[in-house]
Amino acid sequence: HVQLVESGGGEVQAGGSLRLSCVVSGYFFSKYCTGWFRQVPGKEREVIASIDRDGRTSYTDSIKGRFSASNDAAKNIAYLQMNNLIPEDTAEYYCAPSSIPPEGCKFPYVGADEFNYWGQGTQVTV
């Protein structure tokens, strides 16, 4: 079964950087879309980045040029490099897989309701 363990969050000053990790088991990056999400209290979880099964990345506008998603298939770890962090990036961050095809694993088409497995998340505070 699918398991996801996120880590790497913490408290950082505005302008700083963090790299989040997501150790995955039960699925292969080459067969699934991997999404990165964030959620703040009182709001819905939103997808902010995606990597399709062929390795193509896509980002929501608010993080373009600052965040970068990648997958290490050999280690079964997904990464989210976050640079130039701003207070609005404060949230709980998650990764998750979906079986949606590559044409659906990109903005503006990708949505949180297409992902069904979740880890415990990691908190980022800016």
pLDDT of res. 116: 87
pLDDT of res. 105: 96
Distance from the Cα of residue 88 to its chain's centroid: 16
Buried b (16+ CB within 10 A) or exposed e, 7-27: ebbeebeeeeebebbbebeeb
CA pair distance 126, 123, nearest whole angstrom: 10
**Residue 24 belongs to what H/E stretch?**
strand 18-25
Edge-to-edge, what's the strand order for the sheet holding 46-51?
10-11, 122-125, 91-98, 33-39, 46-51, 57-59
The answer to whether 95 touches 39, Cβ cutoff 8 Å, is: no
CA pair distance 65, 78, nearest whole angstrom: 18
CA distances from 96 to 31, 85, 101, 112 (A): 13, 22, 15, 9
Residue-by-residue pLDDT tens, the chain, 126 positions = 899 999 999 999 999 999 999 999 998 999 999 999 999 999 999 999 999 999 999 999 999 999 999 999 999 999 999 999 999 999 999 999 999 999 999 999 999 999 989 999 999 999
pLDDT of res. 61: 97
pLDDT of res. 1: 87
C-alpha angle 24-106-49 in degrees, rounded to nearest 5: 50
